[in-house]
Amino acid sequence: MPATDRTIGIDLGLTHFAVLSDGTKIDSPRFLRRAEKKLKKTQKELSRKQKGSKNREKARLKVARAHAKVADARREFHHQLSTKLISENQGIAVEDLPVRGLARTRLAKSVHDAGWASFMNMLEYKAQRYGRTLIKIGRYEPTSQVCSTCGVKDGPKPLDVREWTCSACGTLHDRDTNAAINVKTAAGLAVSACGAPVRPGAIPAQREETGSHGFPTEPRAT
């Protein structure tokens, strides 16, 4: 894979599969949405069949097949996206999975449904294979509360707030894009403080065509 000095931050969204620090919003592709729709339909059909009947058994098999198709389509989508992100960027910053604490929230459910963990695994092994740097930042960073322009912590935002204006500098933020920029910035600060990506789970680059690890530090008010 050709060297590049591009870097990107990724935020996992509620309304999108992922949002990138350059403003790109990534949704499930049509082939995955179609498979999910088909699965729902077969599940509905199954619920209408009488227990113990032959038709119910048939419907049950249909559901199982539809489940497998959704899993395949999701894997395919994750492969396509992870390959694209790894090939286009030298450094990739992601938020770590909300494993504990958030387990019962809407975000945790959406993360689970989207198969974020398997997507992260793909990013991880592809980064290793192609000499890219993947940095995971902890969920303790309040990525949706901090203004990515001036660095002020603007306070918690309810999940339905998709846009907000920074009370300090007046910048209008898209919630998810701002969070993705903060993910990227947090990863960059972690690198510059120690000279190497040292966060748990961070994978150092294996080759150094660009001459440096990771991310340029972005301007931030103190």
**Catalytic residue check, 11:** yes
C-alpha–C-alpha distance, residues 19 and 26, integer Å = 6
Closer residue to Zn ion in complex, CB, 138/170:
170
Closest distance to Zn ion from the beta carbon of 153 (Å) = 10
Cα dihedral value 155, 157, 161, 163, nearest 10:
30
Structure tokens at 161: 């707030």
Closest distance to Zn ion from the beta carbon of 23 (Å) = 17
Closest distance to Zn ion from the beta carbon of 67 (Å) = 45
**Catalytic residue check, 141:** no
Which residue is catalytic, options 36, 124, 176, 218?
176
Closer residue to Zn ion in complex, CB, 63/146:
146
C-alpha–C-alpha distance, residues 23 and 220, integer Å = 19
H or E element at residue 121: helix 116-130
- Report the first-to-last Cα separation within the chain, whole angstroms: 38
Residues near Zn ion (CB under 5 A) are 147, 149-150, 152, 166, 168-169
Closest distance to Zn ion from the beta carbon of 152 (Å) = 5
Which residue is catalytic, options 95, 124, 154, 209?
95
Q: Which three-class secondary structure state does DSSP give residue 95?
A: strand
Closer residue to Zn ion in complex, CB, 26/150:
150
Number of H helices, E strands in the chain: 5, 7
Closer residue to Zn ion in complex, CB, 50/222:
222
* 174 strand-pairing partners: 163
C-alpha–C-alpha distance, residues 4 and 128, integer Å = 15
Closer residue to Zn ion in complex, CB, 89/149:
149
Look up residue 38 and give its amino acid: K
Closest distance to Zn ion from the beta carbon of 169 (Å) = 3
Catalytic residues: 11, 95, 176
